[in-house]
Structure formats: structure tokens, C-alpha cells
Structure 1
């Protein structure tokens, strides 16, 4: 038990320190590469922090548990979009830049809507997987193009940049390892203290895959880096919904449960539309709107336990 306490605390420390180092290196790497800090966040950091979802989903697919893979993808995206974004805006209102409002938000809704449309026949085939991955390509190229237009010229020695890249990779690794330790040893401690399996599942495993995004997004809020906050959240959702889901389909086609089609994916799209409305009307994501997103998250979690299902017309 003492070891679990130590490693749980160490996991929290790794999350905090790793996210701090990630955020401190983004501007330096962006300057040398000639792309904007938002570009580094969207094209690199958000992709790497999605590795937990990718690994868990692919392993589930290899074990023949494809429905678990899709559940991990949809559930993680919903938690990130509602709980993580809501918590960040509750901490400090977020001023939203034009790139987030005009590109990332729309692509996030598109990725969820496409996943729903492809799932309507009750299955996701390898062809569906190729479609999902193919749709990610223009998003990636468009983001890279825009990031270069808004960037500053390269301004650091190659050796220095290699060091910054190494620190960035190590820092992201610290965030991922910290999330793993918090989930594993936190749940072990909770079990020893008599917490029910259901409550452990809600408090630890439901949030485990989203901890890297939470650590980096919340760290960006504290540093008043608004574009990095929502950029990381949106880009992580887009990558997970298109690339991770696409890779899982290529590994093993999956049957899609009715509850995912009738409840989970519509709620994910609703969350994306709500957040889009919030960030475009006032160009800020404020605390009252954050409470709405957190309430939607609470509704989603309640629906998981009550077996509530939205019916499509």
C-alpha cells in the first residue's frame, strides 16, 4: 500500500512536471520549425497524447473486443470535450482565436458525424477505416499550411532544437507514464479503502485515457495560452475519431452496438455543436458555458449507468 501511495503521488508529479516542460518547449520548437505554436500543438503534441487511446483500442481489437475499442474512442473524446474543456474554462475563461473557431471546431464535429454516418449500418469495415484515415489527411495538410503562414522565421541552432525536441519527447513520455501510474495505483488504493468497483471505474478508468490531455490543457490555461488549451483538446479528438478509429477498423472490422449509434455518438456531436456555439458567439469560452459542458458530461455518465438511450428518428 505504501508503494501505491508513493507511485500515485509520483504520477501526479510527473503529470504536472511533464506538462510544464511540454508547454515550455512548444514555442521554441515552433520558432525553429517555422510553424506556429498552435501548429506544434495540433500536429505533434495532440497526436502523441492520443497514444493511450490508440494502444488500448488496438489491443482490444486484437483480442476480438472491437466494441470496447469504439467505446474507448467515443468515451475518451466525450470526456475530453466536456469535462476537460469545461474544467479548463471553469479555472479561467478562454479567449478563442480564429483558427480554433473556423477550423478545429468544425473538423471535430465532422469527425464525430462521419463516424456516426459510417456506423449507421451497424458495422465499421476496413473500407470505413480507410475513409476515416483519408479524411484526416486534408486536415493535417491544411493545418500545416496555416501554421507556416502564421509562423516566425527559424531562429535557433540545430543542436539546440534537437535538445528541445528530446526534452519534448521525454516530457510527453512523463505525462503518459504519470497518467498510467495515477490510474493504476489510484484505483488500487481506492479498492483497498473499500471503494466499489463501479465507483472506481467512473473515477479512474473513465478519466484515465484523458489525463494527458487534461494535464497539458490545464497547464496551458494556467500559462494563459488559450490556443494551446482548446487546440490540444480539439486536435486530440480529431486524431482519435479519424486515425485511431480508422486504424482499429483496419486491424479488425467491428460491429457497432445500437447504444453507440443511438446515444453515445449523438451526445458527442451535441457536445461539439454546443462548444462551437459557445466559442463563436462571444469568441470566449466562459465559466457559465463551462458549467453547461460539465452538466452534459454528468448527463452522459448518468446515461451510462441508467441504460438511457436516445432514439434516432
Structure 2
């Protein structure tokens, strides 16, 4: 039965991702927002919903390793696994002039989290700081994300249909992720895998599957700005929103291993994404293969 639920969750993720990308693209056109901004905000926040649910539930249940490990592992998976897979499907373009601020915010948020983890707890004050950073990011994204309408393009679907597609896709994504995380955790526990490793790998990948489904579908539809924006936005939301909200509800004790072992991976993958944007203006297919190989090595180290 566990394996059946796993398969049902996987199907739900990709169906939800298809409708989310379609609806979000139409919303962007209605408001003359670039697909990158929609990927950074609506899609990025929506696909981070599973991480939020898991982290809050874990913190309240006295499982801080899962609350923090879920976010760190998801950010690593977003860049190595999700962008790697998407780039293999279709080489990704990263328009630096549109995302340099967002990449900068991602780097600053990552550095701030690393500092917060050094004292062994993400406090309520830390949570307030993270949420203030989220507010600044959202204002910047929408104020600076307007673009001229394309008068030659076909008119988008009605706003009501676009909103229904987006919300429906998000609901299906969250349900699918929940089924996958629960079933995959049971499977991992049956093999004697520790809580921290489950959080950094099984739970992190499970809650990142909405991002994977959304970015892969966007890559197939040649909407690479949404694929890239989804990952950058999700990484920002994971730190500023998810850990901010969770810490505001209850301070989160942090195992020393997160600052010493896992944050270097989180920071390193963020820097690699910035280097791709600056030096290559995107992620070619061969680089996508390399990202996937690095992720396989990371999971191997975690499981060793």
C-alpha cells in the first residue's frame, strides 16, 4: 500500500505542476508581469507550501532536525536536482538583468541563515528578521517586475480560469507531496535511516517535488524563465518564509551539524547558480548532467 501511495503522489505532482505553470503564465500576462517574476513569487511560494507544512508540523512535534534539515536539503535539491534535470531537458537561459537582485537576495538570505545557526537556535527574533526580508523581496519583485505588454500575442485565458488553474494546481501539488513524503519516510525508516538524513534527503526531495514537477514541465514548454525563477524564488521562500514563520511560532533548536556540514553545501550550490548566471548566462545541458552527478554524490555521502 505504501508503494501505491508513493506512485499516486508522483502522478498528482506532475498533474498539479502542469496546471500551475499554465495558470501562472496567464496571470503574468494579465498583469504585464514577466514570467520570471511569476516564477519567483506565485510559483516559488506555491511550490514551497509542502516545505512550510512539514517544517511547522515538525517543529511543533519536537522534531527540529526535520524542520531545519527539510529546508536546507530542499535548497540543495532545488539547484542540483531540479535545475539539473530541467537543463537536461532544455538548456536554461538565466536573464541576469532580470534576476541579479533576486540572486543577491538568495545569497544574503543564505548567509544570514548560516549566521543564525551558529548559536544553536533560530529564535523568534531571527524569525522576525527573516520575515522582514521576505517583505522587502516581495515588494521589489512586483514593483520592478513590470514589462511592456506583447500586443502581437494571443490573449490569455480569462482571469477566473487562470486563478482556478493556479490554485487547483497548488492543491494537487501539496496533496501529492504529502503522499510522497509520508510513504517515502516510512520506506526509509524501514531501512534504519536516521531522522536528520531522512530530512536532508527523503523529506527534502519529497517536498521539493512540486518544484521539480513545475520546473520540468516549464522546461518542456520552453518557459525556462519560470523554471529558473521557480527555483530561485523557492530557495528564498524556504529560508525567509518557512523558517521565519516556523521560528515565529516556536524557536527551532539547531543541531551543530547543520552549520558545520550542511550549510557549506547550501551556500556552495547558491554560489554555483550565481556563477552560471554571470559566466554562462544560463545552464547548458552538459552542466545539467554535472549538477545531477554532484547531487548523486551528495545523497551518497548523506546515506553513507
Q: Smaller-chain TM-score range?
A: 0.7 to 0.9
CA distance in 1, matches of 2:302, 2:124: 28
2:89 is aligned, of 87, 91, 103, to 91
CA offset digits 1:57-82 (Å, max 9, x no partner): 11111122223211111111111121
Which 10-residue stretch deviates more, 263-272 or 57-66? 57-66
CA distance in 2, matches of 1:187, 1:150: 47
Q: CA deviation at 1:184?
A: 4.1
Q: CA deviation at 1:12?
A: 3.2
CA offset digits 1:156-205 (Å, max 9, x no partner): 79x931232122101221122223334445677x68xxx83549958753
> Contact 1:101/1:280 (CA < 8 Å) preserved in 2?
no
Which residue number corresponds to residue 44 of structure 1? 42
> Contact 2:36/2:98 (CA < 8 Å) preserved in 1?
no
> Contact 1:10/1:178 (CA < 8 Å) preserved in 2?
yes
CA distance in 2, matches of 1:77, 1:150: 32
The size of the alignment, in residue pairs, is 299
For the pair shown, the structure with the greater C-alpha radius of gyration is 1
Which 10-residue stretch deviates more, 178-187 or 111-120? 178-187
> Contact 1:49/1:172 (CA < 8 Å) preserved in 2?
yes
Q: CA deviation at 1:145?
A: 1.1
Which consecutive unaligned segments of at least 5 residues does structure 1 have?
A: 307-313
CA distance in 2, matches of 1:133, 1:252: 14
Is the aligned partner of 1:196 residue 2:191? yes
CA distance in 2, matches of 1:35, 1:93: 23
CA distance in 1, matches of 2:275, 2:289: 14
Q: CA deviation at 1:222?
A: 0.5
Superposition pairs of residues 1-313 of structure 1, within 5 angstroms: 1=1, 7-99=5-97, 101-149=99-147, 160-185=158-183, 196-198=191-193, 201=198, 204-306=202-304
CA distance in 1, matches of 2:134, 2:112: 11
TM-score with structure 1 setting the length:
0.85
CA RMSD of aligned residues (A): 2.8
CA separation of 1:289 and 1:144: change in aligned 2, threshold 3 A: same
SS in structure 1 of the partner of residue 158 of structure 2:
helix
> Contact 1:100/1:231 (CA < 8 Å) preserved in 2?
no
Which consecutive unaligned segments of at least 5 residues does structure 2 have?
A: none
